[in-house]
Amino acid sequence: MAIIGIDLGTTNSLVSVWENGHAVLIPNRFGSCLTPSVVAEAAGEICVGAPAKEKRLTEPENSAALFKRYMGLEAQAPLGDKWYSPQELSAMILRQLKRDAQEYLGEPVEEAIISVPAYFNDEQRFVTRQAGVLAGLKVERLINEPSAAALACRSLNGDEDETFLVIDFGGGTLDVSVVECFDQVIEILAVSGDNRLGGEEFDKRIARHFCREHQIEYGLLEPKQQQMLLKSAELCKRQMTEKSAALMEWTGPDGKKGLILTAEDMVRISAPLLKRMEEIVHKALRDVSMTAEDIDKVVLVGGTCRMPVIRQYIRHFMGAEPVMVKNPDEVVALGVGTYAGIKERREDIKDIVLTDICPFTLGIGVRDDSSGELIMSPVIERNCILPFSHEEEFWPVSKTQTHVAVRIYQGEAMYCKKNLFLGKIDIAVPEGSEEHRKVTVRFTYDINGILEVEAANEAGQKARKLIVNSQIRMSEKELERKIEQIKNLKYMSRDEEWNTLVLARGERLYEECLGEDRRVVAANTQWLRTVMKGKNPAAVRAARKQVERIFEYLEEKLGIDEETIGEET
Ligand code: AMP
């Protein structure tokens, strides 16, 4: 049975499989390999992907997106009259990807490998696996996104021994990794990143620039208007990939407004974000005592790398022309699919070894007498190779102490309060001499980047903990109940999803068009609704195709390029 590889992205998700000597992407029901990571609800039914993305533009209150950013937090998003956790929403996406894969492969799929951002902490990794379980998938392995990208780049690049830098600039995040390849070994030497720096930051800056030029207060706009403005900004950003200037248009409460953006404007608007990107690259290089000259090749992946300003800036500070992979949005997914092939021990790939690293420092807090603050005492430092286990010895601060609380933190700051608190283990300390009161703390980091901490005293007592918040760890019973719940949600059928997609597209187009075009959109939307009432599937399909063609024509006229929707077959 095939193992599938899933890139569960902030903006789009993809699924792949190892087939005939290479990783291939699996198309979804709409014929596209990109499934927007958006879930929406309409009349008590759930839809996922392209129709949900469309609905989000006109009904943001009935849809959820960008939930990957909240994985591991106690956040909930409303959909209809119910609230869902980020892992439940992710499970709905995963369930859909699993179904698409099953349809493509013609057999059931039970196991998946899912990619996660390198900076994901224990809890985020844990809930990602949990999302897989909720979707009815076994997830034995998670793989860091930059490592997956490196694996795919290696396959695309051939077998040369080289050291390369992968800059993965996606919709929501930036990941940079230094990778060394020799023989069949792909070694990740260092990773660095920013989980708040992605293509959307550029959209926001463009949108704010537009508002400034038109004296509009962005923060005072309704969520729906902000969404439309961000969409126009994104469209303009994409157009600037091919042109040196683009017209950004947006219809607000006071009518239609336009602004021409030039390449120089883009440089100015993007400057603070480009600087942040440069700092992240330097951090990764510094960690392995390298400079730009030690890098044989700079490989760009992720949709945001398509922006010419990014390429120019990288060329400027790395002193070499970066290589853009052909399909930057697909590289991580192809890497996960390659890893699925390795895990299946496929003959053509089984000898490849990928070594991954722990991207952040893990340690415990010790009291600093001079400041009274807890300071970080590292047990595992960033960039150590996984799996990894290491122990350190500690002594209680005061002679009267009967217990020590081992506080576990993740992060690079000296003061614990600036790092991420992961958990605490209490362990008794027996009375006696200094040597007797020693506590040994062992950190074990598994291949998926999940941490286990064990504390032992000299009396032979041990306390052990998987560092995952108890609220996140569900009991078997609760997990089973949730699996059933996700399974039994009412999902739209393929036809209903197509209808929803076209109707939502009509609603959005209506808001974007003016005059005669607007009347055409309204008439066609109403006509399709009337045909749908007749409940004749063949007639609905024919009407939908016709309406779609008209909408496509109008979108082309407006300069909209819907890449996540394929051709209806
Ligand atoms: P990813 O998470 O890798 O799918 O990246 C998606 C991001 O890439 C989004 O922020 C898109 O706006 C951005 N993107 C996709 N295509 C282009 C393009 N042609 N020019 C600029 N940005 C793009």
- Transcribe 291-355 into DSSP letters: -GGG-SEEEEESGGGGSHHHHHHHHHHHSSPPEEPS-TTTHHHHHHHHHHHHHTT-TTTTT-EEE
For 257-271, how does the pLDDT look when each residue is reduced to its tens digit (9 = 90+)? 999 999 999 999 999
For 386-438, how does the pLDDT look when each residue is reduced to its tens digit (9 = 90+)? 899 999 999 888 888 899 999 999 889 999 999 988 888 999 998 888 788 89
For residue 303, the ligand 1 atom closest to its alpha carbon is 8
Residue 36 CB–ligand 1 contact under 6 Å: no
Q: Whose CA is nearest to atom 22 of ligand 1?
A: 304
Q: Do 374 and 366 form a contact (C-beta atoms < 8 A)?
A: yes
Separation CA 284–CA 277 (nearest Å): 11
Q: Whose CA is nearest to atom 9 of ligand 1?
A: 171
Residue 233 CB–ligand 1 contact under 6 Å: no
Residue 335 CB–ligand 1 contact under 6 Å: no
- pLDDT attached to residue 102: 97
Residue 201 CB–ligand 1 contact under 6 Å: no
**Res. 104 pLDDT band, cuts 50 70 90:** very high
Task: Please provide the DSSP assignment of 189-237 as one string.
Answer: EEEEEETT-SHHHHHHHHHHHHHHHTT--GGGS-HHHHHHHHHHHHHHH
Rounded to the nearest 5 degrees, what angle is found at the Cα of 78, between the Cα atoms of 74 and 81?
A: 130
Distance 302 CA to ligand 1 centre (A): 7
- pLDDT attached to residue 369: 84
Residue 88 CB–ligand 1 contact under 6 Å: no
Residue 329 CB–ligand 1 contact under 6 Å: yes
Compute the average pLDDT of residues 100-127: 92
- pLDDT attached to residue 567: 46
Distance 20 CA to ligand 1 centre (A): 29
Averaged confidence pLDDT in the chain: 90
Number of residues that this document lists for the chain? 569
Residue 55 CB–ligand 1 contact under 6 Å: no
Residue 365 CB–ligand 1 contact under 6 Å: no
pLDDT value at 35 more than 70: yes
Proportion of the chain above pLDDT 90, given as a percent: 62
pLDDT value at 569 more than 50: no
Q: Whose CA is nearest to atom 14 of ligand 1?
A: 303
Q: Would you state the structure tokens that stand for residue 144, as one six-digit string?
A: 């860091």
Mutation to probe ligand 1, out of 169, 270, 306 (largest number of atoms < 8 A from CB): 306
Mutation to probe ligand 1, out of 11, 33, 243, 334 (largest number of atoms < 8 A from CB): 11
Residue 9 CB–ligand 1 contact under 6 Å: yes
Mutation to probe ligand 1, out of 304, 310, 327 (largest number of atoms < 8 A from CB): 304
Would you call 19 helix, strand, or coil by DSSP? strand
**Res. 563 pLDDT band, cuts 50 70 90:** low
For 322-366, how does the pLDDT look when each residue is reduced to its tens digit (9 = 90+)? 998 888 889 999 999 999 999 998 888 888 889 999 888 999 999
For residue 241, the ligand 1 atom closest to its alpha carbon is 20
Please report, as a single letter, which amino acid is at residue 258. Answer: G
For residue 202, the ligand 1 atom closest to its alpha carbon is 10
Mutation to probe ligand 1, out of 237, 273, 331 (largest number of atoms < 8 A from CB): 237
Distance 431 CA to ligand 1 centre (A): 61
- Angle at which helix 263-287 crosses helix 199-213, to 10 degrees, equals 150
Distance 238 CA to ligand 1 centre (A): 7
For 117-175, how does the pLDDT look when each residue is reduced to its tens digit (9 = 90+)? 887 887 888 899 999 999 999 998 999 988 999 889 877 666 678 899 999 998 888 98
Q: Would you state the structure tokens that stand for residue 229, as one six-digit string?
A: 């403005």
Residue 238 CB–ligand 1 contact under 6 Å: yes
For residue 11, the ligand 1 atom closest to its alpha carbon is 2
Separation CA 255–CA 250 (nearest Å): 8
Separation CA 85–CA 77 (nearest Å): 6
Residue 363 CB–ligand 1 contact under 6 Å: no
Q: Whose CA is nearest to atom 15 of ligand 1?
A: 303
Q: Whose CA is nearest to atom 19 of ligand 1?
A: 238
- pLDDT attached to residue 293: 94
For residue 234, the ligand 1 atom closest to its alpha carbon is 12
